[in-house]
């Protein structure tokens, strides 16, 4: 069948990044466009020499002007196309999410060939987020596809945030299919239990991207005194407790978060006296506390929200790392993370290395950390690699 999408002509030479594998084109790469496609319209990207390259979503006013859906320039992008991508995403999760786990990311935007769509599974519930005008156009087909592939009890929508605003879309939250989820949904992760607030919790309710790193903490903390900074609902803390830590301290500035962390600790039958909950700013806490720890986790929110923030964010990361490193006992372990898009792996390593130097300690890298395989990233899309981390060992 003939499909004919308006042609998006690129400036000479500007097809290079797309050909190399990047899924986006910025507005400066666009020379002209056939007709007057609107936000979210499908277009065919064409090089200045007239070579058709890809089909994807166009936006006339966002700096990201084109998001590739397929490198087949003649592909037909319809309900069947989205259904196929969703089915592929489900099959991947069946392969990579094993053990007693019923919560994971099931659609990871570009990483699943679905720019502007994120879906997280929490037991019988799906939480979905649409962040591009293009994906919004296919909303009912996408919801239908998710329903058929995952057969959830209900789909709850949390389409909000900056990416959506940049596409000229207002926030939208509420039930997208079925009844409203309960205030707390119980999930299992590697056999551990957590209550997740999918309606008003952070992100879509839980930091699913840290599952593999939580497992690693659980495996490395027998008998340890553990400090979990930026603990949110206590994910790392519960794994540490169940992994045999002698004592766990969870620090978060939000009292709602520390309440959830306390509840999740209890839910896993861990002894209350082995968990200290501190509602405080981590910067202040680390400056004041004078106790040594065997294992410290630093998992702050994104300090850099845009390129202008990078310097101040770097100073923030350096400070918490320097303070954290000083609190580690000889032979201690540090799990340190950044989820800022604008701070790449190389810069993060430099910041942490500078923190080690300032703390007068030498670190050995045991493992570079990232999200689990339910968060696939398009290999050509560095912007998709937001979460990076280091597992470091200090001293003897
Ligand atoms: N490690 C968590 C996720 C952390 S998200 C997990 O695996 O679930 C970042 C957390 O940092 C949020 O809960 C937020 O409330 C908290 N936070 C943000 N700024 C903070 C600060 N300055 N001090 C302490 N906590 C902070």
Sheet holding 52-58, edge to edge: 24-26, 64-70, 52-58, 42-46, 7-10, 30-33
| Confidence (pTM) | 0.96
What are the phi and psi torsion angles at 140 (to 5°)?
Answer: -70, -35
CA dihedral for 210, 215, 221, 225, sign (positive or negative):
positive
Q: What is the mean pLDDT of residues 368-382?
A: 98
d(CA 371, CA 207): 10
Atom of ligand 1 nearest to the CA of 203: 5
Q: What is the pLDDT of residue 1?
A: 47
Q: What is the mean pLDDT of residues 251-256?
A: 97
d(CA 260, CA 384): 29
Q: What is the pLDDT of residue 171?
A: 97
Nearest to 185 by CA among 167, 200, 165: 200
pLDDT tens by residue, 26-65: 999 999 999 999 999 999 999 999 999 999 999 999 999 9
Catalytic residue among 33, 229, 339, 356: 339
Q: Is 33 a catalytic residue?
A: no
Nearest to 204 by CA among 230, 233, 178: 233
Q: Which residues pair with 297 in a beta bridge?
A: 228, 335
Q: What is the mean pLDDT of residues 70-94?
A: 97
Atom of ligand 1 nearest to the CA of 339: 5
> Residue 228: left if φ>0, alpha if ψ -120 to 50, beta else—which one?
beta
pLDDT tens by residue, 327-372: 999 999 999 999 999 999 999 999 999 999 999 999 999 999 999 9
Q: What is the mean pLDDT of residues 226-255?
A: 98
Q: Which protein residues are within 6 Å of ligand 1, measured from CB?
A: 202, 207, 210, 230-233, 235-236, 252-254, 257, 281-283, 299-301
């Amino acid at each position: 069948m003939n499909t004919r999408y308006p042609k998006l002509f690129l400036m000479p030479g500007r097809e290079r990044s797309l050909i190399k594998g990047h899924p986006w084109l910025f507005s400066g790469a666009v020379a002209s466009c056939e007709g007057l496609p609107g936000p979210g319209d499908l277009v065919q990207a064409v090089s200045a020499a007239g070579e058709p390259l890809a089909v994807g979503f166009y936006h006339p006013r966002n700096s990201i002007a084109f998001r590739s859906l397929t490198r087949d320039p003649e592909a037909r992008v319809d309900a069947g196309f989205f259904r196929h991508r969703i089915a592929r995403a489900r099959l991947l999760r069946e392969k990579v999410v094993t053990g007693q786990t019923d919560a994971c990311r099931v659609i990871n935007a570009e990483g699943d060939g679905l720019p502007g769509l994120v879906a997280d599974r929490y037991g019988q519930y799906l939480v979905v987020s649409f962040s591009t005008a293009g994906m919004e156009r296919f909303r009912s087909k996408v919801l239908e596809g998710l329903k058929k592939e995952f057969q959830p009890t209900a789909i709850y929508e949390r389409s909000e945030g900056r990416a959506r605003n940049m596409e000229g879309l207002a926030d939208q939250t509420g039930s997208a299919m079925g009844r409203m989820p309960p205030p707390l949904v119980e999930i299992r992760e590697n056999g551990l239990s957590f209550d997740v607030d999918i309606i008003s919790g952070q992100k879509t309710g839980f930091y699913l991207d840290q599952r593999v790193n939580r497992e690693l903490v659980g495996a490395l903390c027998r008998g340890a005194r553990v400090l979990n900074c930026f603990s949110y609902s206590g994910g790392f803390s519960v794994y540490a407790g169940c992994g045999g830590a002698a004592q766990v301290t969870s620090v978060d500035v939000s009292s709602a978060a520390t309440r959830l962390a306390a509840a999740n600790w209890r839910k896993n039958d861990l002894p209350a006296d082995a968990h200290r909950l501190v509602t405080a700013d981590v910067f202040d806490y680390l400056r004041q506390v004078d106790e040594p720890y065997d294992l410290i986790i630093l998992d702050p929110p994104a300090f850099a929200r845009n390129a202008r923030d990078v310097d101040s964010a770097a100073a923030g990361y350096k400070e918490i790392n320097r303070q954290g490193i000083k609190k580690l006992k000889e032979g201690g372990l540090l799990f340190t993370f950044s989820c800022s898009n604008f701070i790449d792996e190389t810069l993060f390593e430099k910041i942490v290395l500078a923190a080690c130097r300032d703390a007068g300690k030498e670190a050995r890298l045991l493992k570079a950390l990232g999200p689990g395989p339910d968060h696939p990233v398009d290999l050509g899309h560095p912007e998709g690699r937001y979460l990076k981390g280091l597992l470091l060992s200090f001293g003897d």
